[in-house]
Amino acid sequence: MAGGGDKRTPASSSSSSRRRKPGARYGPGCERSSECQKESPGSSSHSVSSKKSPPQMVPPVQPPKKSLDSPRQIVPPVQPTTSVDSPPQMVPPVQPPESLDSGSTSCASGSVVSDPFDICRVVSKCSVEVKPSLLDINREKRRARELAKSANAFQHLRPGMVLLKNFLKPDDQVKIIKQCREFGIGTGGFYQPGYRDGPKLSLRMMCLGKNWDPDSCSYGDIRPFDGAQPPKIPESLTKFVTDAIEASHAFLKQSGQGTCNPKKEIPPMSPDICIANFYTTAGKLGLHQDKDEARSSLTKGLPVVSFSLGDTAEFLYGDARDEAKASKIKLESGDVLIFGGQSRHVFHGVSSITPKTAPTYVTDEANLRPGRLNLTFRQYE
């Protein structure tokens, strides 16, 4: 019995060693993977699992590792949370306010310009415009010069008020517009004025010499809302004002209209203030008086000299703030209106702008936007 047991021992040992070889090969793999243990929960020894492991354990070992630890399965649950807080959902509420305040958009660059306001059109490469020929422009200039020499070129509207039709030559109009444009896009340039806690005026304004604040109805050296200092009035514009006043004196003297002393009816003055207003085709200005200058200037009746450039405006004036009783005249491009002396405190305003009435040399040579540019000069003291 003992000897027989001794003979069987090697056989038993040999058989068990053969059964453990597969287990030794696949067993470590199962110990490293918890999924492998779950695949064969009934196995109690390496000898049992070794029989089933080769066909069942090799395929499932790799996929579970990739399915649990791979970035492809970890990223999806992270993305939904970031998509909720992502910038694409936060940007839309920020962008629209900027686009609403923009003044113009360049289709070539996509840039938005909102401040300051440019009274001239920006020529874009994205659009094709049919411009009038040079022959048409020169013909229109000749017609303007002829009208300036006609018998009805100058009109005596009332004591202290004279209208000089086509007084500004076409080339001078182009120069004035370009000069105002340079001032308008710089510091202290055109902006949309308004009243504190109230509506904004339907025009763009720029001051030269001194700033006029519509909210306080007073003049100052700087603009209250941005601290900008108004540019000085160029000598070229001062020269036009002086020439217009002298022309009104000569007209009153030659025509025999008005008083015997033209300088008393329209006193001479040296302008140190200019308010430039740009009206769009929908712009207007209610009846008002210009009475915010110094008392000495108002007492002397120093005149207001008004230049009209661009589209035609319907101008109202009268002794009361009543449009129904106001007189009406058409102010065209190149016209100069002067009111001083007895008419210094006349009520005046603009009721409408007539679109597409600006001469071609204004729209094509100066590139003025559709609308009317109005410059009013006065002397503060």
DSSP 68-106: HHSHHHHHHHHHHHHHHS-HHHHSTTTHHHHHHT-SEE-
Q: What is the pLDDT of residue 8?
A: 42
What is the C-alpha to C-alpha distance for residues 207 and 276, in angstroms, rounded to an integer?
6
Q: How many residues does the chain have?
A: 381
| pLDDT surpassing 50 at residue 42 | no
Q: What is the pLDDT of residue 66?
A: 45
Q: What is the pLDDT of residue 127?
A: 58
pLDDT digits (tens, 9 = 90+) for 45-67: 343 344 444 545 545 555 544 44
Give every CB contact of residue 319 below 8 A, 6+ residues apart in sequence.
Answer: 346, 347
Of the listed ranges 68-72, 92-96, 237-241, 266-270, the one predicted with least confidence: 92-96
The rounded radius of gyration (Å) of the Cα atoms in the chain is 44
210 touches 220 (CB < 8 A): yes
| pLDDT surpassing 70 at residue 17 | no
Residue 206: name the closest of 147, 273, 160 by CA.
Answer: 273
Q: What is the pLDDT of residue 70?
A: 44
| pLDDT surpassing 70 at residue 132 | yes
